[in-house]
Structure 1
């Protein structure tokens, strides 16, 4: 309490006593004990009222003990079961949880992880991917302000994400790996990685890169083969020893027919090999007979040009050329779509050709755009010219239904620089993104599509989309979501197919550990997205003739079905509406490959490095008793006494108001009873 407040309280006490003395003691006609009772009651009442006016504040401290948290993170991937460590893992967890000293010393939180981390509930060791770095990052974020050592129960084999042993350099929590798996080194040949493009073109030779590795001490011979059906299309003799432990093999294969072509890479196993599953791998390519050529026409250089080229060409079916206006005019017949980047009067001849040939366009405006020029074209858009610029952020139109948008929301994306105002479309338009300022939707389109005279067009208002691609990488550590979004926009613009009420998004083939997710959008007769549609997928395995029917579930603006759990093979599918004669049929293939079965041993070196980088220590399951003892004796994990300080103003103390009221009532009653009123 401040000195000034104490002085005010003393003055209030003196004032209360003085007023009470003057009324009941000084020259008072009241005699005997009653005068002193009334004096006390009046003094207390006045002092209480003055205290409420002063309203002093009091501090109170509440003390409590906070135990450290012991975080258990269990690898729930298939590799644990494949290495026959599933029962060992559960036994180790049981020893930790059943130890009474652990329960008294720590609050225990349990998690399991595969592709994602989740609260420990049921353990099946069936996750098809393991992302150890992602799990550790999330635990670090959750417990960054606590004392929370992490017990990391895993074989250390990771199939997704960054290298967890180096990511851990930024952690402030010790990590204690409990190593699951055999530490014995066996001789082993394996296909470590296979790189091949998803698409190729008819009559072209496509490259295949195979990275092979050998673990062992002896000199060995083997042979690499690439099979197509029952025919060997490539073979090579290989030699390895304790010095030459890896080799990269590059070759090209001929695409001589259209469609999905599957291949099998095999390195002949050694006689004594323990794990032969990692000696082969299936892959596929889709052979197509044409390529979409797209021109980006510009009059001034900008980083957006390179980003557009990278995003569009992430799909090997598309090729992008960045050209000046006169260069484009000389080869206009070579392209199926033209992107006009910040057009001005120099684009006049191009616009005339676009009108004459009914070409589809994608216009991107910016600081170098001549809006009067655009207003005078045939493109059915008028710009409200203001000559003032502003940074606008995007907001996704959840009702957009021209094509499927998934995995990208544009939330917290950087703004684009654009002029005030917006385009007025002279024909019906579908808005993909709206312009917002400080979170307020302006109602103007930032990105929209529209069509007329058998032509499709899109307009993006603003420059700087290179920041969007960078933001996608910051959010997901991949450019895929942004590239897919641009790819779908380009696919829509480069196609002259009529609009359909049922749109389906799927891949022609999936690798063995890919998520097999099929998305669909269904529209009513007015082409409005129908959130009450009943869609089902009929799935047939062509290898076994097994059929099944699965409903599609509404997920935001899409209907989706997750088929990741189905077996490898070739499938025909048909998506249909239960009440209308509308359907879509297709085919896809799932390649036989299980990345979690490619490992023979625990990755002991990485787990030891993880412990070293986080000031922890690695243990084997047989050392679990030693681990528990050392954990209990570590002074870093002592119970901490903490306090919570509360500052409470006197006016919040309701009892004082009650005391004042009682004093005044008793004083009034005594005066009334004794005839003094």
Structure 2
């Protein structure tokens, strides 16, 4: 309470007392006992009211002890079991969490991680991938405002994510890696990396690049072989020694038949080699007999052209040629799809060619588009010509049902510049993206698809799509999400297949540790998306004829099933509606490969670097007592006494209001009883 408040309270009491004395004492004929009672009651009432007007504030301060948190994160991946460290990990976790001094000093929180971080329920060391950097970043975000050292129980072998040795730049906590493994160096051969295109073309030869590694000190000779079934299609002797520990081998293989072709790369094992699993690696290619050629026709130079070309050609099945209008007309029969970028006066003949030859097209408009020409030479839509441009944000239509769209939000994507004015379609169209201004959806199409007869078309109103591809990279550190979105649009436009009530999205083959996710869209008889359908996938293994049935779940506007973890091999599958005679079939192959079994030792150097960069300390699994001692004696982790100051205004004190009311009531009653009213 401030000094001014104290003065006001004293003045209020004097004022209340003087008023009471004036009313009940000054020139009063009441007896002394009644005078005293009424004076006290009136003083209390008036003083209480004046106190409420002054409303002084009272401060209370409480103290509490805050212990630091101790985060224990355990690597739950298969490599821990493969290195025979699963029992050590479980024992170390128990010794930390059950230590009474640690429990007294810290609030202990335990997590496990593989590809994702989660609170420990049970440890089974069955995760097929490990993402150490993501686990540490998530822990750092949760405990960013606390003192929370992190104990990391791991072999340091990461199979997914960014380099974790520099994660201390974003995780402002000391990290104490407990190294699950030993430092013994064993002689070991391994296939470090294998680079090959996913798609190849019939009768072509495709390149294969293999990086073979050797870990050891002796001079050795081995042989690299590439198998196709039971036949060796390539072999080469390789020599390694203490100074030559890796070699890059390149070759080309022939693609002689259509379909998925699988191969196996193998290094002949050394005598007494401890780990031979990493001596071999399977890979696959899909041989196709035709490449989709796409003409990107433009009369101007713009960054959008390069972005579109890179996005489309990220799928090796497609090739994009950037052409002037006259260049396209000379070779129009060579392309399955034509993209018309900002048509101007020079596109007159091109637009007529697209219409006369009934070609599929993708029209992109912008600031240099001649909308009068475009309106006259096609009849599917009309753009109001205002000669004024506007910036429009994209807004995704979650109900778009022509083909499956990945879960892109587009919320933070930059605006595109488009002609100000309405677009009216004379044919049925499906909106993928609508225009939004200041967060308000205008219900005007930005990106939409439509069909004219047997041809398919798309219209994008706006230039600057290269910014979208850059934004996709900023969000996910990869162009894949945006490239897949454009790829599916191009796939739809370049295909002449009739629309189906059940559309599937899957890959023809998956590497051993890939997520095996199959998506589907189901439409009713009016081709409207049905979000209440009951779909089931029947999966059949071609090798042992085993059958497995799994329901598909509705997820973000698509039905999907996650088959990750099923055994390697070839599979046929059928997705069908449980109550209607609608079904679709497909097949895929899973290549045998377990990335968690490729390691022979713990990655000691990287774990030690992580500890050093974060001001922590790395220890081996036999030094856990030293780690506990360091944590208990480190002054950074002392219990902190914190105070909480609580300021309460008097007006919140309800008892004062009750006292005022009681005083006034008793005063009124006494006066009434004595005939003073």
Q: Do the structures match in fold with TM over 0.5?
A: yes
Tell me the CA shift for residue 623 of structure 1.
Answer: 1.1
**In structure 2, distance between residues paired with 1:457 and 1:8:** 80
Question: Match for residue 605 of structure 1?
Answer: 605
Q: Quickly say closer, same or farther: Cα 1:40–1:439, change in 2 above 3 A.
A: same
Question: Match for residue 571 of structure 1?
Answer: 571
Moved more, 656-665 or 34-43: 34-43
Moved more, 634-643 or 140-149: 634-643
Q: Quickly say closer, same or farther: Cα 1:644–1:463, change in 2 above 3 A.
A: farther
Alignment of 1:31-70 (within 5 A): 31-70=31-70
**In structure 1, distance between residues paired with 2:2 and 2:353:** 83
Tell me the CA shift for residue 231 of structure 1.
Answer: 1.5
Tell me the CA shift for residue 632 of structure 1.
Answer: 1.1
Kept in 1: contact 2:391–2:417 (CA 8 A): yes
Question: Match for residue 183 of structure 1?
Answer: 183
Kept in 1: contact 2:137–2:170 (CA 8 A): no
SS in 2 for 1:449: strand
SS in 2 for 1:394: strand
Question: Match for residue 229 of structure 2?
Answer: 229
Moved more, 569-578 or 383-392: 383-392
Alignment of 1:96-495 (within 5 A): 96-495=96-495
SS in 2 for 1:165: helix
**In structure 1, distance between residues paired with 2:651 and 2:341:** 67
- Provide Cα deviations, 1:157-212, integer angstroms capped at 9, x if missing partner: 00111110022233210000011112211000100010100001111111111111
Kept in 2: contact 1:421–1:444 (CA 8 A): no
**In structure 2, distance between residues paired with 1:147 and 1:674:** 70
**In structure 1, distance between residues paired with 2:371 and 2:645:** 62
SS in 1 for 2:377: coil
Tell me the CA shift for residue 14 of structure 1.
Answer: 3.6
Moved more, 29-38 or 130-139: 29-38
SS in 2 for 1:532: coil
Tell me the CA shift for residue 674 of structure 1.
Answer: 2.8
Moved more, 7-16 or 577-586: 7-16
Tell me the CA shift for residue 6 of structure 1.
Answer: 4.9
Matched, 1:634 2:614: no
Tell me the CA shift for residue 62 of structure 1.
Answer: 3.2
Tell me the CA shift for residue 41 of structure 1.
Answer: 1.7
Question: Match for residue 85 of structure 1?
Answer: 85
Question: Match for residue 618 of structure 1?
Answer: 618
Q: TM-score when scaled to structure 2?
A: 0.97
SS in 2 for 1:647: strand
**In structure 1, distance between residues paired with 2:231 and 2:290:** 27
Question: Match for residue 547 of structure 1?
Answer: 547
Kept in 2: contact 1:608–1:617 (CA 8 A): yes
- Provide Cα deviations, 1:117-167, integer angstroms capped at 9, x if missing partner: 111112211111111111111111111111111110000000111110022
Tell me the CA shift for residue 4 of structure 1.
Answer: 5.4
Q: TM-score when scaled to structure 1?
A: 0.97
Kept in 1: contact 2:394–2:433 (CA 8 A): yes
- Provide Cα deviations, 1:249-305, integer angstroms capped at 9, x if missing partner: 111111122111111101111112100000000001111111111121223222221
SS in 2 for 1:475: helix
The two structures, once aligned, show a CA RMSD in angstroms of: 1.6
**In structure 2, distance between residues paired with 1:491 and 1:645:** 64
SS in 1 for 2:137: helix
Give the count of matched residue pairs: 677
Query: Any gaps of 5 or more consecutive residues in structure 2?
Result: none
Q: Quickly say closer, same or farther: Cα 1:334–1:11, change in 2 above 3 A.
A: farther
Moved more, 484-493 or 164-173: 164-173
Question: Match for residue 517 of structure 1?
Answer: 517
Tell me the CA shift for residue 379 of structure 1.
Answer: 4.2
Moved more, 520-529 or 379-388: 379-388
